[in-house]
Chains A and B, each alone.
Chain A
Amino acid sequence: MPPDLIQLLVGGILLGGIYGLAAFGLSITFGVLNVLNLAHGEFLMLGALMGYVLFTAFGLNPFISAMAVIPIFIIAGIGFYFLLLRPISEKPPHQLLVASILVTLGASLIIEDLTAFFWERPVTGIAYSLPPLELAGVVVSSTRFLILMFIFFLAFSLQLYLQKTYVGKSIRGITQCLEGAKVVGIPIVFVSALTFGLGVALAASAGVFYVTLFTVTPIMGIPLSVKYMCIVVLGGLGSLVGSVVGGLILGVAESFTAYFIGAEWSPTIAFILLILILIVKPEGLFGKKE
């Protein structure tokens, strides 16, 4: 394989890893709560701003910050759930879905405007980079590579948590059958709140990596939520593996499209892929048939 193509492949995978982590949280929230969280990108943005503060004020390494924000945002997510989602959680599934879209979209706009108002720094980013690695003519960003490794570690830990712990099993139980989970005595409200908190925390953790690699502005949340939604649908709604694989596919597809067709086609590829997958496999790559 020519070095250029390997370079593109590696670049796409590294980018796809970040997509995957952020989409992971969105997927888990949808799988358990049947809630489409349009404020997901806002939590990513808030996580990024917190990562920025931790880096500039305390000199905290982004990899440590990515862990540090998790408990904070789990609490924030639980608060968000009880304040805005719990009141609508008893609605029939399709009504809940619509209501959740409206509620989280409203929350998203509020978070965005409040942040833009109070966060006066024009464009936020942190000056953190590691020397690149060069292997057989292919230059690999070591920062992105380490981030990808961290994401795999996080995904593996989460998988273990879901497989081995009571709460993890409860989350899976609710994903599989809500009525069944109620019958066997799973505390639905507690697990739902915790799951939402977990989803939000994963977005915030991805945000720390985001601010390490890219710039962050208070108004970036909604377009990101839409992109991650594409990834979740691509991978299969509610499938955790699907969201990671969907992220990687999108990252690589964007990279190759920009190189061979033109960079202006790169953002469109997410939607083209989405349409193709929905035609061929309507439930998504790893989704379950209704």
Chain B
Amino acid sequence: MLGHCAVMKEEVMKKRPLVLTICLSVILLMGVPMTASGAPEAIHIGATVSQTGHFSSEIGPFKRLMIAWADIVNEQGGIMVKEYNKRLPVKFTVYDDKSDQATAKKYYERLVTVDKVHILLGPYSSPLTFGASTAGENHQVPFIAICANSPKIYTRGFEWIVAVIDIGPRYTYRYWEMVKNQGVAKSVSFVVEDTIHPLGVFKGSQKLSQEAGLTVLSSDVVPAKTRDFTPIITKLKEKNPDIVYVSSNIPFAINFMKQAKEMSLNPREYHCIHHSGVFRDPLGGTAEGVVGQSYWVEGMKLGDTKLITDVLKRADISEPMYPWSPAYVAAFQIVQAAIEKAGTLDNKVLMDNLKGLKLDTVLGEAYFHETGYGSINTYPSQIQDGKYKIIYPPEVATGKHIYPRAVWK
């Protein structure tokens, strides 16, 4: 009997590694949030939002936007994933990148390695996206850049990135197309904020304006924190251009416009590339007639207006105050369409389907160029009676271009 027991003990001891392996596998499997069919509990999307730091003024509350969209999708039962033959809910993990490139990069690494997300939505701005997108590339997780249009991001040979929007140098191509078609303006002067996105837009616009037949009278690249524009405005008065084109972020443009009015600088048109309620409200009447770029304005005959209004309403975000919010809604649509088309959450299949995607979003047709940058671009809009009107092209326009603007007395 004792001998039999000893044999059994020996056998158990021999099989010990195998038993341990089975036990560990069971424990590990229990730890992974999967259902009986092997499907994950949710489609896990990772992102950062600049809730603090200098971009917080532009996208601070956008975590609400993500949650609002997820709630809408989840109320409809989730997103269909054929592989599991069921609809899966959407879940977000969002960190505050503090508007800092290093912090964004750190959190995107965490999203991939610790949180194990299925797909990444990019942070706000080109500099942050430039740093953060390496996480997607290194770990082969699909990365959808949203508001990041510096060509530098898309010339690194990255395979795991696509972007919602078109590249910066083409940011105002529709405006120059309109100017060329109208043929009234003859000269332009550029005032440029010395940061990555405005510089990119300026470089493209300088070329596009010349192609539109305009003479470039001056180009002043000015530090972002400039408060006193007296020297620039004094020069512009001497040059007397038809168009003063301000390629900058909103605070810079507001400060410039305020002083331009204080010093009675009266070109026939002001173009400020970024304008919105944030631009209009502090300027009041000074903003009247200013042309700029908008992705979407209310009343525009473009895309699924209901989705934008539902998401914005639920998130309690006002589009005129946060003009980049529609681009995020377009990104959500891209995520949904890519997963539905792929029918799986497998990284490679998902990425391949993303690259080949073509769909109508809230901002028009979205597709991706070979290097990853997107197709969605802005439309020229003008502030008329305090409201934003899309002025070109005619098929989506909500108002007519007023040129020249009313002179300040």
List the interface of chain A (C-beta within 8 A of B). 4, 7-8, 11-12, 15, 113, 116-117, 120-127, 129, 131-132, 134, 139, 141, 143-144, 213-215, 217-219, 223, 251, 254-256, 258-259, 263-264, 266-267
Contact = CB atoms under 8 A, between A and B. Distances in A.
A255 B228 contact: yes
B278 A122 contact: yes
B263 A123 contact: no
A87 to B, nearest CB: 28
Contacts of B83: none
Contacts of A131: 409
> Which of B60, B232, B234 neighbours the largest number of chain A CB atoms within 10 Å of its CB?
B234
Contacts of B322: 122
A139 B57 CA distance: 33
Contacts of B409: 131
B227 A123 contact: no
Contact of A141 (B263, B283, B321): B263
A15 B278 contact: no
B364 interface: no
B185 interface: no
B56 A116 contact: yes
B230 A8 contact: yes
Contact of B61 (A4, A120, A134, A264): A120
Interface in B255-303: 255, 258-259, 261-264, 278, 281-286
A123 B254 contact: yes
A126 B282 contact: yes
A32 to B, nearest CB: 29
Contact of B231 (A129, A219, A223, A255): A255
Contact of B52 (A117, A124, A125, A134): A117
A201 to B, nearest CB: 22
Most chain B CB within 10 A, of A8, A116, A134, A267, is at A116
Contacts of A117: 51-52
B230 A255 contact: yes
Contacts of B58: 122
B60 to A, nearest CB: 6
B225 A12 contact: no
A12 B254 contact: no
Given A134-B264, A215-B254, 11 more contacts: A11-B228, A116-B60, A122-B57, A123-B254, A129-B262, A143-B262, A144-B262, A213-B259, A219-B56, A266-B223, A266-B226
B380 to A, nearest CB: 22
19 contacts: A8-B230, A11-B231, A113-B52, A122-B278, A122-B322, A123-B250, A126-B282, A127-B286, A213-B227, A214-B254, A214-B255, A215-B254, A218-B57, A255-B230, A255-B231, A258-B226, A259-B234, A263-B222, A264-B194
B231 A263 contact: yes
Contacts of A213: 227, 255, 258-259
Which of A219, A223, A263 has the most CB atoms of chain B within a 10 A radius of its CB?
A263
Nearest to B51: A117
Nearest to A126: B282
Interface string B55-66: 011101100000
Contacts of B54: 217, 219
Given A123-B251, A139-B263, A141-B263, A7 B234 contact: yes
Contacts of B251: 123, 215, 217
Interface in B352-409: 409
Query: How many residues of B sit at the interface, in one of the four size bands?
Result: 35 or more
B203 interface: no
A219 B53 contact: yes
B286 to A, nearest CB: 7
B220 interface: yes
B41 to A, nearest CB: 31
B80 interface: no
A241 B137 CA distance: 58
B261 A263 contact: no
A259 B226 CA distance: 13
B221 interface: yes
B235 interface: yes
Given A7-B234, A139-B264, A215 B282 contact: yes
A124 B284 CA distance: 13
Given A113-B52, A141-B259, A219-B53, A8 B250 contact: no
Given A123-B251, A263-B221, A258 B286 contact: no
A214 B227 contact: yes
Contact of A263 (B220, B250, B264, B286): B220
B232 A127 contact: no
A117 B63 CA distance: 13
Contacts of A113: 52
A218 B98 CA distance: 13
B254 A125 contact: yes
A218 B278 CA distance: 15
Contact of A127 (B223, B226, B255, B282): B282
B53 A116 contact: yes
Nearest to B277: A122
A-B pairs, top 10 by smallest CB distance, nearest first, are A127-B284, A125-B282, A11-B230, A259-B231, A141-B262, A122-B57, A258-B231, A263-B222, A215-B251, A15-B228
Interface string B172-209: 00000000000000000000001000000000000000
B148 to A, nearest CB: 19
A141 B223 CA distance: 23
Given A7-B230, A215-B255, A258-B228, A123 B286 contact: no
B258 A4 contact: no
A4 B230 CA distance: 10
Contacts of B52: 113, 116-117
Given A123-B278, A126-B282, A258-B228, A4 B234 contact: yes
Contacts of A8: 230-231, 234
Nearest to A131: B409
Nearest to A134: B264
A98 to B, nearest CB: 27
A143 B259 CA distance: 10
Contacts of B53: 116, 219
Contact of B235 (A215, A219, A259): A259
B61 to A, nearest CB: 6
Contacts of A218: 56-57
